[in-house]
Structures are given as structure tokens and as C-alpha cells.
Amino acid sequence: MSTPQSTSMSTFVSAHERQRPATKAALRSIQVITLGLLVLFGIGPLYWTVKGAVSPPADLIASPLRLWPADARPENFGVALTDLSVGRYLLNTLQIVAGSWAVQLFVAVTAGFALSVLRPRFGKAVYAAILATMFVPYTVSMVSLFLTVLDIPVLHLNLADTYWAIWLPAGANAFNVLLAKRFFDALPAELFDAARVDGAGTWTLLVRIVLPMSRPVLAVISLLAIVHSWKDFVWPLVVLADPARQPISVALVNLAEQAPQDLLIAAMAMALAPPVVLFLFAQKHIVAGLGFTGVKG
């Protein structure tokens, strides 16, 4: 337990000073102002996106700073969904995100489990090689990755203009492997020893012991994978030449040249909604997972 002296040393204001009315008022004012600024910078862009989506084009030009349009048009969302084919692009994005999420989760869990629990002879060297890829800029490896997609070694398959060209490279995410390994390292080794004594094999250790205890880190990896795949722009633009297969991130750039401004903003708002809603529902597991893995933002 912390003593009063240690508590006072760990803060800028001592416990005695905090009892004074003036100090209380000053601290409360600072807290309120800080919270208000955080809310403003966090929710403000989302609010202006929704406001622009329901504003007539004339209002966007004449009164861009008005808090809410006089003639709101919520039907813009439905028009953008049909006339701009936003629904099709969102469906394409869901397919890309689902495949990328599955591949990243599978690679992160199996690689982290092997390096942390199984510990092969050259595990440290393999782990160092995986972490070394984090220092290679994405733009540097893009050309070689594209050439590999055009002609898969040994198999000689061309994955260009298919979702496999996005799903498979997504698994090569060293940060997810780092998260999984750090979490598995924190699990009690006695559980694995007891399970091996009872005759449990590798698959049993992973499915019946490790995975049920790894929900927090699985939630973190899932959110990172989903958000990254949802907002990825450059790689889908390079490997998907067919506009009918492109995700919403690429489609918005093409629509910006021809769509009305209010419908374009409505499409942007619909593209923003899924990751925001996902974070709101999964934030508890995300914070818990980051705490367990020891990764600080």
C-alpha cells in the first residue's frame, strides 16, 4: 500500500493543497477543459462529416461553418448507396477485410504459439528475422511484392486482380506476431507442463488451453487487422485493376471526380461508420489486451 508521503510525491499537487477550494476549482477546470478539447478533436470531424452528408451542395459552399443545415437531406445516404454503388464497394471491402483478418489472425496465433510455447531450436533467429521486417518501409518492398503476386514462386500463379493478392500478404505482419508472442509469454508455463503430462499434444495445447485464455490479445489483433484492411488504399489500388472489385477506399477517390459533393461526403460517412462502431463495442477488450501484452501506445 502507498503511504501519504509517496502519494503526495507522485502528483504535482499535495493532498493538503487539494483540499483548498481554490485548488479544487482550478483542478476541476483543467479536467473539464481537457476533456472538452479531447471530445472536440475526437468527435468534431465525425460530426462535420455527418453534417456535410445531409447538407445541400449550396449550403456547403455558402455556409460551411453552420452547425446544422436548414434543409437537411438524410436521404443522401440512400441515394449514395444506390446511385454511387457504395453498397457494392462496401461489400467488396467486407470481403477483403474478412479474408485479411482471418489470415492475419491465423499467422499471428500460430507463429506466436510456436515461438513462445513450442520454442524450436532456431526460434530466436526466426523471431529476430520477423522483427527485422518491421524496419523495412512498406514502399520499399511493394515492387518485389507486386512481382511476387504476378508470378508466385514454384506454383507460377498470377494472383493479380484477385482478393488473394491482398489476403496472403496481409499475413506478413510482424507486429501482430509480436503481440501474440508477448501475450503467450505471460501465460503460466505450469499449465503447459501439466497438459503435456496428461498427454496433450500441440493442437490440444493451442485450441483448448491457449486460445480460451487469449481473448484480449485476439481482440487487439482483430481490431488492428480490420482497421488496417478497411483503410488500406495503395495496395488494393495496385493489385485490383477491375473497378467492380475495388474497396470503398479506392472507390471514393474515383467518385470524387464525378459525384456531387454531398453524396460523396455521405459515402465517406458510411465508410467511416463500421470501424468506429467496432471500436466502441470492442474497446474494453482492446484496452485489456494492450495491458496484458505490455505494449504502450
Decide if 256 is inside a domain: yes
Q: Are residues 39 and 177 in the same domain?
A: no
The mean-pLDDT minimum among 58-67, 209-218, 246-255, 277-286 falls in: 277-286
Mind listing the pLDDT tens digit for each residue in 116-152?
A: 998 888 999 999 999 999 888 888 889 999 999 999 9
Q: Are residues 133 and 180 in the same domain?
A: yes
Q: Are residues 107 and 246 in the same domain?
A: yes
Decide if 266 is inside a domain: yes
Decide if 112 is inside a domain: yes
Q: Are residues 30 and 109 in the same domain?
A: no
Q: Which residue has the cell 467486407?
A: 94
Please state the rounded mean pLDDT for residues 72-85.
Answer: 90
Decide if 65 is inside a domain: no
What confidence score (pLDDT) does residue 43 get? 85
Decide if 113 is inside a domain: yes
Q: Are residues 141 and 206 in the same domain?
A: yes
Q: Are residues 98 and 27 in the same domain?
A: no
What confidence score (pLDDT) does residue 5 get? 44
What confidence score (pLDDT) does residue 10 get? 45
Please write down the HEC assignment for all residues of the chain: CCCHHHHHHCCCCCHHHHCCHHHHHHHHHHHHHHHHHHHHHHHHHHHHHHHHHCCCHHHHHHCCCCCCCCCCCCCHHHHHHHHCCHHHHHHHHHHHHHHHHHHHHHHHHHHHHHHHHHCCCCHHHHHHHHHHHHHCCHHHHHHHHHHHHHCCCCCCCCCCCCCHHHHHHHCCCHHHHHHHHHHHHCCCHHHHHHHHHCCCCHHHHHHHHHHHHCHHHHHHHHHHHHHHHHHCCHHHHHHCCCHHHCCHHHHHHHHCCCCCHHHHHHHHHHHHHHHHHHHHHHHHHHHHHHHHHCCCC
Q: How many CA atoms within 13 Å lie on the side-chain side of 267?
A: 28
Mind listing the pLDDT tens digit for each residue in 220-257?
A: 899 889 989 999 999 999 999 999 999 999 999 989 88
pLDDT at 8 over 50: no
Residue 20 is part of which domain span?
4-53
Q: What region, left, alpha or beta, does residue 161 occupy, with left being phi > 0 and alpha being psi -120 to 50 degrees?
A: left
Mind listing the pLDDT tens digit for each residue in 21-38?
A: 877 788 889 889 998 888
Decide if 63 is inside a domain: no
What amino acid occupies position 89? Answer: Y
Cell readout for 40 is 472536440
Of 192, 175, 182, 174, the residue nearest 214 (C-alpha): 182
Percentage of the chain modeled with pLDDT above 90? 45
What confidence score (pLDDT) does residue 239 get? 94
Backbone angles phi, psi at 40, to 5 degrees: -65, -45
Domain of 112, CATH number, reads 1.10.3720.10
What confidence score (pLDDT) does residue 177 get? 94
Q: Are residues 33 and 82 in the same domain?
A: no
Distance CA 89, CA 91 (A): 5
Decide if 235 is inside a domain: yes
Cell readout for 158 is 498470377
Ranges 78-82, 96-100, 254-258, most confident: 96-100
Decide if 137 is inside a domain: yes
Q: Are residues 43 and 179 in the same domain?
A: no
Please state the rounded mean pLDDT for residues 95-109.
Answer: 96
Q: Are residues 149 and 29 in the same domain?
A: no
pLDDT at 4 over 60: no
Please state the rounded mean pLDDT for residues 276-281.
Answer: 83
Check: CB of residue 108 under 8 Å from CB of residue 173. yes
Q: Are residues 94 and 143 in the same domain?
A: yes
Mind listing the pLDDT tens digit for each residue in 171-219?
A: 989 999 999 999 999 898 888 888 888 888 889 999 999 999 998 889 8
Q: Are residues 26 and 106 in the same domain?
A: no
The count of domains in the chain is: 2
pTM score, two decimals?
0.82
Distance CA 74, CA 54 (A): 5
Q: Are residues 279 and 184 in the same domain?
A: yes
